[in-house]
Amino acid sequence: MYRRKRREEGGNALDLDSLMDILSDLVAVIVFIVMYTIMELGSQAYQAEVVVSREPTEGSQRVVVVCEAGTVRVLDLRYALSELLDGYEIVQSVGEIERFIASNQRVPTDRYFSYTLRHQFRPTTDFYAMLDLEIDALPGMVGDSVHQLDRSSRYAATLRDLDPEEVWLAFAVDTASVDAFRVARDMAIAAGFATGFDLLSLDFPLRVALSEDGMDDLLSPLNTLSKPQR
């Protein structure tokens, strides 16, 4: 009786057992990759949250939050400017600017910064535009680090003293302070503040030109995020 010869080993016969083993291994690897990705995305290190700031109240003023060297400091110019410019509205000539500054030796300070008026001649009839505000960091006054940013921090206390209807927060962020900025911004948004930011470093002492309406543009924005979209 004729019998078909068995194919020799190494032929083209389909070994179903080997194929099933390969498929099982592939499925196991895919499942492992999917589970590992889910776990990583769910971890704090890889979790990405998009926090949306509200629009600012019409007419609200800018308060700068300096995120530098991994710390956060609030730079609020409003009270210092009000004190330094008290009586300046009577100035009517360039000569009177020098006399006003010479007679006004006040150097207002807050928790982190000191403020001084400087005369800077510019070809304009706006006497306010002939003034610079010099801002310097107070020695030894370090801001809150990312590990200190909680409800008991100095930053949180400052937020409680500010009115979200009167001010919005502009964050100046250097490359070493991104983590601190994120925490500080989340706290600000949770407290109801409109926010914006610039990726830049501020070098102190910092001199900024004034305008008739006060601080014209402290950050000299690098992008549209410096000013909230209205």
Q: Coil, helix or strand for 210?
A: strand
Q: What's 85's DSSP letter? A: T
- Please give the pLDDT value at position 47: 43
Averaged pLDDT score across all residues of the chain: 81
Q: Provide the pLDDT confidence category of residue 97 given band limits of 50, 70 and 90.
A: very high
pTM exceeds 0.85: no
92 φ, ψ (degrees, to nearest 5): -125, 5
CB atoms closer than 10 angstroms to residue 91: 19
Task: Band the pLDDT of 126: cuts 50, 70, 90.
Answer: confident
Q: Give the span between the Cα atoms of 35 and 33, in whole angstroms.
A: 6
Whether the predicted pLDDT of 128 surpasses 80? yes
Answer positive or negative: Cα dihedral of 195, 170, 72, 113: negative
Q: What is the pLDDT of residue 6?
A: 52
User: What pLDDT is stored for residue 226 in this prediction?
Assistant: 38
Cβ proximity of 148 and 156 under 8 Å: no
| Mean pLDDT calculated for residue range 79-85 | 92
Asked if residues 145 and 71 have their Cβ atoms less than 8 Å apart, the reply is yes
Confidence at residue 201, expressed as pLDDT on a 0 to 100 scale: 84
**Position 167 confidence tier, pLDDT thresholds 50, 70, 90:** very high
The residue type at 4:
R
Phi-psi sector, 211: left (phi>0), alpha (psi -120 to 50), beta? beta
Pairing outcome for strands 144-145 and 206-211: unpaired
